[in-house]
A and B are shown apart, each in its own frame.
Chain A
Amino acid sequence: MSEYKGPPAADPGALGVGTSRGGSAMLVAQSGLAPRHGRAGGILGGLGPLVRLLQGWISTYFSLLLLGMMALAIGLTGVQHGVTLMGEQIKNALVLGAIYALVAIGYTMVYGIIELINFAHGDVFTASGFYAFGFASLFHLDSLATGSFGGLILALVIVFPLSMIAAGVTGALIEFVAYRRLRDAPRLAPLITAIGVSFLIEGIMLVVEGPDNVTTHMASWINGEAFSIAGVSVGYTDLFVIGMALVLMFALGAFVRRTRLGKAMRSTAQDRTAALLCGININRTISATFFIGSALAAAAAIIYSINYGVLKWNIGFHLGIIAFTAAVLGGIGNIVGAGVGGFLIGIIYVFGGSLFGGEWSEALIFAVLVLILTFRPVGLFGVEVTTRA
């Protein structure tokens, strides 16, 4: 239960889903997001009150139910296969979850501020992975990073900012070219554009990088075992992946909470017109949001590259959809929610696969997506439905 980061809605750092957007056409209409109270007719007519009660109950305790099931899955793995496997799978889940979390934050930030599901985000992830690979080859960072500990730090200090800036520029450029003009168009228009941009980026990467896995050599930067508990070997790479993700997420949280730009982002997310009236440069703020979200995707891509060592032109799409589920799970628009959601999805993916077989991992993730949209559409950390309607 250690993943449970506190009670829902008590989240000052979140961008938050606006409370005063009553009339705007959301991708998923708010009324549709809410539990369907009192709709049970027909045969279930007599059961109406009971169904309502049950739905309300599931909705209220959804987080606890989900976390309870996860705890059960983890426990079952421990009972069935022993503590070592349980520990290994927790490690696998956290490593996977850290990457999902960083990508999910990009989705949730963009959604929070302009209510757009930026389908191109997963491909920005892949593209920035290739940027990092490019920088690493350009500056011969492989020999530097594998040479000594100081060299590794230097290589990371070079590759992270450069790739994050390049990815940030890419993200801001995508917003400027593809989404800005459509900001006031019907919701479907930018959504379709986003899918188009996604295919465009994938196409470019396919042509430039070829159809096969590309070895980035970054997996050799960090290696070796850090420590071992109960037969579970934890490598430095595992610590790096999880630690780096947490550092980046807390840095982002502090940025959104403490800085002027962060405040501008929060206010733009809450009410764009009012923010404009207060003298906030909306365009610049939205560009900054895309920049930061994409920069985090770049960080995730470097972490991915250091952990897995390969990139492929289309990995971002698949990973992006799972990360998007993480964002919905945490409450779309909520940064802390996306971070926690990423780790939870990691747990569902790994333990679902461990208990039921790998072919069920993704089915379970998307089953959770369906359940959450049905019973608790605001997500685990979202704002209460009553305050949004």
Chain B
Amino acid sequence: MVKPTKGLLSIGTIAALGVLAACGTSSTPTSSSGGATGIAGCHGTITVATDLPLTGGDATDGPFPQLAAELAVNQAIAHKLLGGCTLKYVSKDDSTVLKNGHDPAQGAANITALASDATVMGVVGPFNSSVALAEIPVASTNHLAIISPANTNPCLTAVVPVCSDPTININTASLYPGAHTYFRVIASDVQQSEIDAYIAAKVVNATKVYLIDDQEAYGRGLALLFKKYYTTTEGGTIVGQASLPGATSTFATQISLAKSEGAQAIFFGGTTGNGCGLVRRDMGSAGFNVPVLGGDGCEDTKFISDANSGANTSEAEGSYATSAPDVTKLASSATFFSQYAAAYSTKAAPYNDGTKEPYTAYGYDAMNILLQAIHATLVANGGQPLSSPQAFRDAVVAQLRNTSYDGALGHTTFDANGDTTNTGFTLYKVTSGNWVGVNTYAVDTSGKVTVKS
């Protein structure tokens, strides 16, 4: 595990020269910029990595946060954030041909490989919660920090009442055989469902809700959490609940039941691919006109086309869904997206435009937070890497806990579980055939929902 720092010196210097030469055309590195204060004499190589699904069915998702994270690394190299130390970047792909996309086994193998490299001080990833389940224990055992730009499963960080549900069945404690080294810059489904429950009760003004989920970990988890917060915090009543497979082609039976029970809203936990929009379509056929509320799995254009596919071609109107705030609209992200566009202008569409995917800015902030933590660790250690890689990694994790970072997403800090405290969710409503943002809500640790903007 322990590599002598001296031995690395020459290799590091050569690598640094190579990297600097590569960057030289696009930016002008200055040998003594602000970021290098106190650590200009830093010796050694520090590696950061990403583990994201880049190929197969996930080729439309993973490459965006990967490119954003790489941009963050290149900017850090250009600004000599780590002073004299060489910053290296490794990109791992957790997709396999077998799965035609993200594969938890490949993710675990990637983290194992990264952990065995003593210079690796942190990883940005993974994208999918199922991959996170395989990677977190490996990272925990090896003291390696991982920061996810996209995992929303609440059971990855903390035990919530849904974790023991048979469809989810995650033993959170068993994920961390070692240190708690997992962080995420995206809010979890707990916060989303708290906000959804608030919206059902206070915005839709429904006292009776009928619940439908798609039997998958995300959808069922969201529905169960919604049920918990809607009945306890908001005092509402769930008049019925159905759990239907993604292949369901009609929800007429459930709509009739919901109508008969006098539901004032229908909450759908799941994705549009599993029927969110079709629920709305079948409500039109049944002449049942109450709002549909969904999570981020419903907030897409497919919802609108599915809902409008029935006899009433404007059935989608008035449907609600919450989703992560539109980061492309944040003032704080404007600089990032223009830098992304400038850096990747030669990439093929859609990868040349970071706004095409919601997680791009999350990848950028996650990597910057990691780099800041490494920088802080070096500064705290007198401008030099810690001699023991394990101690170095532990120190980086400790610095991550104290993160206070202003980036593209706004202000990010982490709570004791590694969850971000930057938890806004925007309520969207279908208006004239488009999802239009209504309000952004935030929830504090006591469960109190407030309007953020």
Contact = CB atoms under 8 A, between A and B. Distances in A.
Given A237-B285, A314-B247, A357-B242, A92 B305 contact: no
Given A81-B260, A82-B260, A359-B215, A216 B247 contact: no
B311 to A, nearest CB: 4
Contacts of B251: 358
Nearest to A309: B309
B285 A358 contact: no
Given A219-B311, A353-B254, A358 B306 contact: no
B247 A215 contact: no
Contacts of A237: 285, 311
Contacts of B254: 353, 358
Interface stretch (A63-71, A83-91, A105-113, A332-340): A83-91
B312 interface: yes
B287 A233 contact: yes
Interface in B327-374: none
Interface stretch (B119-127, B273-281, B317-325, B377-385): B273-281
Nearest to A319: B249
A99 to B, nearest CB: 9
A88 B288 CA distance: 12
A170 to B, nearest CB: 21
Given A95-B252, A357-B241, A216 B257 contact: no
Contacts of B306: 213, 215, 310
B410 interface: no
A318 interface: yes
A225 B260 CA distance: 19
A308 B310 contact: yes
Contacts of B302: 212-213
A223 B278 CA distance: 17
B298 to A, nearest CB: 13
A318 to B, nearest CB: 4
B308 interface: yes
B245 A362 contact: yes
B247 A81 contact: no
A358 B243 contact: yes
B30 to A, nearest CB: 49
Nearest to A305: B309
A213 B252 contact: no
A85 B313 contact: no
A141 B256 CA distance: 32
Interface string B198-230: 000000000000001001000000000000000
A235 B260 contact: no
B281 A309 contact: yes
Nearest to B281: A309
Nearest to B248: A358
A51 B144 CA distance: 64
B309 A223 contact: no
A211 to B, nearest CB: 8
Contact of A213 (B242, B257, B305): B305
B364 to A, nearest CB: 29
Interface string B171-203: 000000000000000000000000000000000
B253 interface: yes
Contacts of B241: 357
Contacts of B233: none
Contacts of A212: 273, 302
Given A237-B311, A309-B311, A81 B253 contact: no
B434 interface: no
A89 B253 contact: yes
Interface of A is mostly: helix
A288 interface: no
Contacts of A314: 247
Given A213-B277, A357-B241, A359-B244, A315 B311 contact: no
Contact of B278 (A213, A217, A220): A213
A267 interface: no
A217 B241 CA distance: 30
Contacts of A350: 252-253
B257 A85 contact: yes
A361 interface: yes
A220 B250 CA distance: 17
A233 B259 CA distance: 12
Nearest to B257: A354
A307 B309 CA distance: 10
Contacts of A353: 242, 253-254
Which of B251, B277, B285 gathers most chain A CB within 10 Å? B285
B244 A358 contact: yes
B253 A361 contact: yes
Interface string A213-245: 101110110110100000001010100000000
A315 B247 contact: yes
Contacts of B311: 219-220, 222-223, 235, 237, 309
A96 interface: yes
Which of A81, A92, A212, A318 gathers most chain B CB within 10 Å? A92
Which of B259, B310, B311, B313 gathers most chain A CB within 10 Å? B311
Contacts of A216: 309
A100 to B, nearest CB: 11
A80 to B, nearest CB: 9
A215 B309 contact: yes
A350 B302 CA distance: 26
Nearest to A218: B309
Contacts of B278: 213, 308, 310
B309 A88 contact: no
Nearest to A87: B256
Interface in A322-376: 349-350, 353-354, 357-359, 361-362
Given A233-B286, A308-B278, 15 more contacts: A88-B256, A96-B250, A212-B273, A213-B305, A213-B306, A225-B287, A308-B249, A308-B281, A309-B281, A310-B306, A314-B247, A350-B252, A354-B253, A358-B251, A361-B244
20 contacts: A81-B257, A84-B260, A92-B256, A213-B278, A215-B306, A219-B310, A220-B311, A220-B313, A223-B311, A237-B285, A237-B311, A308-B309, A310-B306, A310-B309, A319-B249, A349-B253, A353-B253, A357-B242, A358-B244, A358-B248
Interface of B: 212, 215, 241-245, 247-254, 256-257, 259-261, 273, 277-278, 281, 285-287, 302, 305-306, 308-313
